């Protein structure tokens, strides 16, 4: 933290810490993260120094249960911090978010026995992968996990790995009744393969591959959770243990909300950089030439970009509040968190990210080739980073999920 920080870092679990203080701490790191952007890309992850700053500030404990030394703040607070970090450095925001977020799954779907062990050290970070890249087979006393999972964002600083794995019988044959489980594998039992290279953007996210060679984990390190078919109509282990409805929600909307929070933060980074690009530089037209910041067209593009960025931000944070509302309704004995509601939240988050991206794209186009097309400039980096989100399954599959949402809405008739 810098010397002018109004909220100096204290013990991250002290009662004095509030959501607003955490967000202020993240915003105060913006200059540091921007200065580190190139180095973060070059090394493929954010630095040990930045990691320790995040630990000291309490960022990794935002969603961690108080029972295990966490802050147990809301999903909305987590998204706000992610937005601020992404505004400083998109790669860092992505890498942090996709490592720090999966504590929510661990605290929601695993037993007290498992949580007592995985949270014993107080510090928990876990990359995850929704697409199974390996198998989990039953053995006496537990499971054996084997395989390689790609695109494991946040893996360099992960203490654990939470992969979905194909369930087999003891002979290795696929299970006919259930196709996959979510498992926990401690850091000592997996290998990080640095395969995240040669990509267009988001180069510093640490989205490497994780290889597991016949690792044994105890029986309570597996949970019956399918990302696309989560059944929360029954009380989850997490809500029974912690008494907090946050640990009972479905995962789809929350997951796309993570990425939408990142893109909303990046769109504000583009706003900041576009303002710099048009300040003090001359437009080539009309004649006589004038400063771009005084020209109505550049002002219009800035205004639209800023408005879209803020609209996206509010859509993401509103989605977080909706997740909380539905989870509370379910926990109080009301209607269960439905598949349709989860798909709607997922799709809403996708539309928010698309809105943020469209505003940022226009500003990038109008920032000038010396800014957006010259290698190593911030605007060039932001352009590449946004393009990678558009190629990511969450960005590319918006229409596919809209179809699923339409089908579910017709079938379930969820009141809105």
pLDDT of residue 229: 65
Q: Give the separation between CA 55 and CA 61, rounded to whole angstroms.
A: 8
pLDDT of residue 6: 35
Q: Are residues 391 and 332 in the same domain?
A: yes
Q: Are residues 402 and 254 in the same domain?
A: yes
Residue 137 three-state SS: strand
Residue 341 three-state SS: helix
Residue 285 belongs to some domain of the structure: yes
Residue 6 belongs to some domain of the structure: no
Q: Give the separation between CA 137 and CA 143, rounded to whole angstroms.
A: 5
Q: Are residues 145 and 176 in the same domain?
A: yes
Q: Are residues 66 and 165 in the same domain?
A: no
Closest CA to 246 of 335, 184, 321, 161: 321
Specify the DSSP class assigned to residue 101.
T
Stated as kind and residue range, the H or E segment containing 21 is: helix 19-28
Residue 8 belongs to some domain of the structure: no
> Which CATH number characterizes residue 77's domain?
1.10.540.10
Residue 194 belongs to some domain of the structure: yes
Residue-number span of the structural domain to which 131 is assigned: 125-226
Q: Are residues 266 and 402 in the same domain?
A: yes
> Which CATH number characterizes residue 149's domain?
2.40.110.10
Q: Are residues 133 and 266 in the same domain?
A: no
pLDDT of residue 368: 82
Q: Give the separation between CA 164 and CA 379, rounded to whole angstroms.
A: 36
Residue 118 belongs to some domain of the structure: no
Residue 406 belongs to some domain of the structure: yes
Q: Are residues 273 and 399 in the same domain?
A: yes
Residue 244 belongs to some domain of the structure: no
Q: Are residues 103 and 141 in the same domain?
A: no
Residue 385 belongs to some domain of the structure: yes
Q: Are residues 103 and 131 in the same domain?
A: no
Number of domains in the chain: 3
Going residue by residue through the chain (416 aa), what tens digit of pLDDT does each one get? 333 333 344 445 555 899 999 999 999 999 999 999 999 999 999 999 999 999 999 999 999 999 999 999 999 999 999 999 999 999 999 999 999 999 999 999 999 999 999 999 999 999 999 888 999 999 999 999 999 999 999 999 999 999 999 999 888 888 766 788 999 999 999 999 999 999 999 999 999 999 999 999 999 999 987 666 666 666 789 999 999 999 987 889 999 999 999 999 999 999 999 999 999 888 877 667 888 888 999 999 999 999 999 999 999 999 999 999 999 999 888 888 988 999 999 999 999 999 999 999 999 999 888 777 788 899 999 999 999 998 887 766 788 888 999 999 998 877 77
pLDDT of residue 151: 95
Closest CA to 155 of 113, 212, 108: 212
Closest CA to 256 of 114, 405, 46: 405
pLDDT of residue 225: 76
């Amino acid at each position: 933290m810098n010397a002018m920080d109004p909220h100096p870092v204290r013990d991250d679990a002290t009662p004095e810490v509030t959501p607003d203080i955490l967000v202020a701490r993240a915003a105060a790191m913006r200059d540091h993260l921007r200065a580190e952007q190139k180095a973060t890309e070059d090394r493929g992850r954010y630095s040990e120094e930045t990691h320790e700053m995040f630990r000291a500030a309490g960022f990794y404990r935002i969603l961690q249960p108080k029972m295990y030394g966490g802050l147990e703040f809301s999903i909305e607070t987590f998204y706000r911090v992610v937005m601020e970090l992404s505004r400083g450095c998109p790669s860092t925001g992505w890498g942090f978010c996709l490592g720090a977020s999966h504590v929510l799954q661990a605290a929601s779907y695993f037993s007290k026995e498992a949580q007592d062990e995985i949270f014993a050290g107080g510090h928990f970070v876990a990359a995850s992968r929704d697409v199974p890249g390996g198998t989990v087979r039953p053995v006496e006393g537990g499971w054996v996990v084997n395989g390689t999972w790609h695109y494991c964002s946040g893996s360099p600083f992960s203490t654990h790995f939470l992969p979905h794995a194909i369930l087999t019988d003891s002979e290795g044959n696929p299970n006919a009744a259930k196709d996959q489980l979510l498992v926990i594998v401690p850091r000592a039992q997996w290998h990080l393969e640095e395969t995240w290279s040669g990509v267009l953007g988001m180069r510093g996210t640490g989205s490497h591959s994780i290889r597991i060679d016949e690792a044994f984990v105890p029986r309570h390190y597996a949970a019956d959770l399918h990302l696309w078919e989560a059944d929360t109509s029954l009380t989850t282990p997490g809500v029974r243990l912690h008494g907090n409805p946050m640990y009972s929600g479905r995962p789809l909307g929350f997951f796309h909300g993570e990425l939408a929070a990142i893109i909303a933060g990046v769109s504000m980074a583009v706003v900041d950089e576009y303002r710099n690009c048009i300040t003090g530089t001359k437009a080539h037209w009309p004649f006589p030439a004038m400063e771009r910041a005084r020209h109505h067209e550049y002002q219009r593009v800035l205004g639209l970009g800023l408005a879209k960025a803020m609209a996206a931000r509010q859509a993401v944070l509103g989605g977080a509040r909706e997740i909380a509302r539905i989870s509370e309704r379910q926990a109080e004995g009301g209607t269960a968190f439905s598949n349709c509601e989860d798909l709607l939240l997922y799709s809403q988050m996708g539309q928010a990210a698309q809105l943020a991206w469209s505003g940022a794209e226009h500003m990038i186009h109008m920032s000038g080739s010396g800014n957006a097309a010259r290698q190593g400039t911030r605007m060039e980096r932001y352009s590449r980073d946004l393009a990678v989100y558009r190629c990511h399954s969450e960005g590319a599959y918006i229409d596919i999920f809209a179809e699923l949402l339409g089908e579910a809405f017709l079938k379930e008739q969820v009141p809105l």
